Chains A and B, each alone.
Chain A
Amino acid sequence: MTYMAIPNIGNYTIALATAVESLGIKAWASTATTPAALKLGIDAAPESVCLPLKAHLGHFIEADRAGVEYAFMVNSVGTCRLRYYRHMIGQILKDLGLKIKIFGLGFDGFKPPIVRHFDPGPITFIKPLFHTVQKIKAIDELEVAAWRTRAIEITHGDTTQAMNKLLVELSESRTMAQTRAIRKKAAACFAAIPVDKEKKPLKVGLVGEISFLRDKCLNKNIEYILGSQGIELRNFFLLGEELQNITRIVFLNQSRRKSLSKLADRYLQNSVGGHALDSVAYSIRCADEGYDGMIHLCPSGCMPEVSIRPILKRVSKDKDIPILEISYDEHTCGVGIATRLEAFADVLMERRKKNNSPAQRGKRAGHG
């Protein structure tokens, strides 16, 4: 059996593994970077590059050691280093003398090189792709439901358990019918969790670099920590939404980026690459929608996210929304992150109490 290593993007890796089957091969993947892989990456990469590159690199080195022959890496557009990730990773792997061959998504002619290399039949190719879309939609739904339920669940850990069970089933699902059945079951599963309906949880948006938003090893399990503090999350990277956005650009020529640029126009007119525009625009939108706070995850040395840090400070001041900056590198310690998150939750709670007091409400009505 031929294997191909694919990058880790959290739970969505399960769906991407299905996509790889369209090439008639199997995926070598994990939903979170393992500490062992991260260590391999840190040893092999230059010290000053950002942590996501080290994580992906380590993952591919580990794959090579397991005897995997091929690897695949996305190369995004925009002025981020991610655009050169594949070339950099490929070069480092070559310098290390590893045999693994790394593919990108580039087109040269009608078929991308990756498809030409494996040359699958049309049926083998098309069917898993549709299945992948199904799975991505299913995972989107799971994520959204989990953020809501985890904040108000009565017994801690119920949501996480339900989510795990469904993800295992999803990773084992082989047909579209099975996946559809899981999607139907998921809603019932989450509805069955006993919750405190009276509780009005704090609402917090998560923005920043995508690997950190999705990989729970890199972000030190931030979604779980916040959820168990009773905070309802919105993580602004849903792969389903991203894909919808891409199809809109290709077929309808209406990019979500346009509406985001309009939103962020006062603060950011130039493209700084990566998901920097998204971070600024979503922070503004969340402030308008009455979120209690935002958390910005930023790998240290990430050019796009670092360049918008002063902008986010300004947004925070103008729109009166607290924004917590968390900067990660390989020395970041989980206890420090947990302490900051807990303290941030306390700050938001006090703010809400103060804003709900009659005096404040009168003041705000007067302004309005």
Chain B
Amino acid sequence: MGKQMNNSCYLGIDVGSISTNCVVITPEGEVLCEIYKRGDGHPIESVQQCLAQLTAQLPDRFCIQGVCTTGSGRILAGAVVGADVIKNEISAHARATLHLYPEVQTILEIGGQDSKVTIVRDGAVVDFSMNLVCAAGTGSFLDSQARRLNITIEELSARAIMSENPTNIAGRCTVFAESDMIHKQQVGHEQKDITMGLCHALVRNYLSNVCNGKEIKPPIVFQGGVSANKGIHRAFKEALKCDIIIPPYNMVMGAYGAAIIASKSSIEKTRFRGKEASTKPIITQGFECGDCPNCCEIIEVLDAAEIIGRTGGRCGKWEGKTGPRESLRGTGPRCHVSGPSTGRETGHEMCRQVDDVPDLIQIGVPKK
């Protein structure tokens, strides 16, 4: 029994907009292996590649006892690997940070498309905030500006910390930042100063948009993909005038938190699909629900001919369900429509086609 306990471990997977990360931990929270992989818009393949890498790295004696997925692709990833728990990334990140730094008060997290701030008091999350539609305070901002300067993001980080006199760049919006940056280039500012200026712009944007009205108290932990960027770290230190802790595993904190959540969830028997999840080809197919005029595009995740999960519905009747399609139809909330149809609706039974519709509309013919 004791030996088996020693060999058990838990897997956390974080499928973000830019990267897919995996972390395997022992029940005590010690990290056995971590994988950070920049995805390229193929979440399923990324997850499978991560799993394959993981099985290669992890010694054979370890046996995965529970899996938790997080990140914006958590539901899809959960279906692919057979997750026991699916958790939002805000809670997962906070869980990991609180595990490493129980006394933390503020967690700054900047990822590829998302940036968040989490306020912690007495070891419990009390408030959080997440960026809205704008991506100007996130990693994508730096990525696109680095591309514009024709340097890699690693070079940008290295150059920024050498700057002694950072350029002031308007950072309200990516588009304005770009035109301002071009102007500064042409005026003759040094590249290292411009890169540091960009870091300051991102931090200013983040602090004024995401952290607006929040009480930022030390100790502050900074994590997420962008925390690897030393320029941003320096900009935060200068803006907040205090020390910013960058935790170990800073790039994969979401996955680490997910793994901790899996280990604490008292899972009796894991639904993890094991190695086969990484080797078998997994395909997706879409169909239109048509139960109500919302006409959601439902994505079915298939392993051979077997449905292992569904995503894409708005009402919850398809999410994560594996049964045959017909048994789920007509169960969720739907709209009740009355009156003549515009011809757009699918075979929705509530849309009563009324006989005396005026002959104004002909399906498929443009109005003008």
Contacts and interface: CB of A to CB of B under 8 A. Distances in A.
Interface string B307-342: 000000011110000000000000111111111111
B335 A67 contact: no
Interface in B101-151: 122, 124-128, 130, 132-133
Interface of A: 1, 3, 5, 11, 13-14, 17, 26-32, 34-36, 62-63, 65-68, 156-157, 160-161, 163-164, 167-168, 171, 216-217, 220-221, 224-225, 228, 313, 322, 327, 329, 331-332, 334-336, 338-340, 342-344, 346-347, 350-351, 354
Contacts of B130: 336, 339-340
A32 B294 contact: yes
Describe B's contact surface by its main secondary structure. loop
Contacts of B335: 30-32, 34, 217
Contacts of B125: 343, 346-347, 350
A322 B119 CA distance: 12
Contacts, number: 139
B293 A347 contact: no
B367 A3 contact: no
B52 interface: no
Given A28-B338, A65-B342, A221-B316, 16 more contacts: A1-B354, A30-B335, A32-B292, A35-B295, A36-B342, A66-B341, A67-B361, A164-B332, A168-B350, A171-B338, A217-B294, A217-B314, A313-B213, A327-B132, A343-B125, A354-B124
A29 B91 contact: no
Nearest to A4: B339
Q: Which size bracket describes the interface of B in this complex? A: 35 or more
A347 B332 contact: no
A40 B243 CA distance: 51
B90 interface: yes
Nearest to A167: B336
A216 B338 contact: no
A228 B316 contact: yes
B336 A224 contact: no
A17 B338 contact: yes
Contacts of A11: 336
Contacts of A1: 354, 356
A335 B70 CA distance: 12
B357 interface: yes
A352 to B, nearest CB: 10
Nearest to B295: A35
B315 A221 contact: yes
Contact of A331 (B124, B133, B341, B356): B133
Given A160-B332, A168-B350, A339-B90, A67 B357 contact: yes
A340 B335 CA distance: 25
B361 A13 contact: no
10 contacts: A27-B338, A31-B335, A32-B335, A66-B342, A67-B340, A216-B333, A217-B294, A224-B316, A342-B87, A354-B124
